[in-house]
A = this chain, B = another copy of it.
Amino acid sequence: MSERPPKPPRQECWDRRMELPLAVASLAYLAGYAVRVLARDHLPRLGVDLCVGVVLGAWAVFVTDYVVRLRLSGLHPLRFVRTHLLDTVVLLLPLLRPVRMVALYDRVQRRRGQPRLGLYARVMVYSGLSVSLLGFTAALTVYHHEADAPGATILTFGDSVWWACATLATVGYGDVTPVTPIGRTVAVGLMACGLALLGAVTGSFSSWLIQAFTREDEKPGNGERPPGDFPGAS
């Protein structure tokens, strides 16, 4: 939502042309990984190879896009990495890429001149979509690394989804928890998302209340009772 400096025309052109391929590659990556993880016991040898191929192919698309954008920007590689930190992280952890599609959806809608949603609706839709995608991805990754670990409590994908939900809501029952280093690292990332989600929900409600109060305050015949007293504060 911030205004960046205008990009050079060739870069702009490349970005726009790559939108669709990148979105397809993102979904292919996620789908390939999901099939590989979820159907691992029932997948024939060929299916496994196919999944791995799709995943690697999608990754190749990401790397190509990154390299071309680095070239077009005309920046020194190190400087490019520093100014495009998020892109670099997504390049190394491509499972996070589908989350970027939430921003893409916004950009496409704006270009088509469709009326945008209200601010609160947008915050809710974006945080809802992002959190669902992140939760699914985290559940996949944790299930992948935990299922065969000794002493694991996350034994099925259902357990993993259940754990991800309890973590995102910062409830954290602790009946199933990751035990491997990779699973716990993913869990820490998911906790950070949960904190951000809490911030988004709370912040939305808080700013909506403040605004509703301001509007009520400006109404003329609002004489019965000042609405600003906190109930119970005497």
Q: Which residues of chain B are near A115, meaning CB under 8 Å?
A: 224-225
Complex contact B194–A169 (CB within 8 A): yes
Q: Chain A contact residues: over half helix, strand or loop, or mixed?
A: helix
Complex contact B208–A203 (CB within 8 A): yes
Q: How many residues of A contact B (CB 8 A)?
A: 66
Copies of this chain = 4
Q: Quick one: CB contact mask for A203-216 with B, threshold 8 Å, 1 for yes?
A: 11111111111011
Q: Quick one: CB contact mask for A156-173 with B, threshold 8 Å, 1 for yes?
A: 001000100111011111
Minimum CB–CB distance for A189 against chain B, Å: 10
Q: Quick one: CB contact mask for A172-190 with B, threshold 8 Å, 1 for yes?
A: 1111010001001001100
Q: Which residues of chain B are near A228, meaning CB under 8 Å?
A: 118, 120, 208, 211-212, 215
Complex contact B195–A203 (CB within 8 A): no
The answer for the CA separation of A16 and B92 in the assembled complex, in Å, is 43
In this complex, what residue of B is CB-closest to A153? Answer: B175
Complex contact B204–A207 (CB within 8 A): no
Q: Which residues of chain B are near A118, meaning CB under 8 Å?
A: 225-229, 231
Q: Which residues of chain B are near A117, meaning CB under 8 Å?
A: 225
A198 interface contact, C-beta 8 A: yes
Report the 3 A-B pairs with minimum CB-CB distance, sorted nearest first. A203-B206, A171-B172, A173-B174
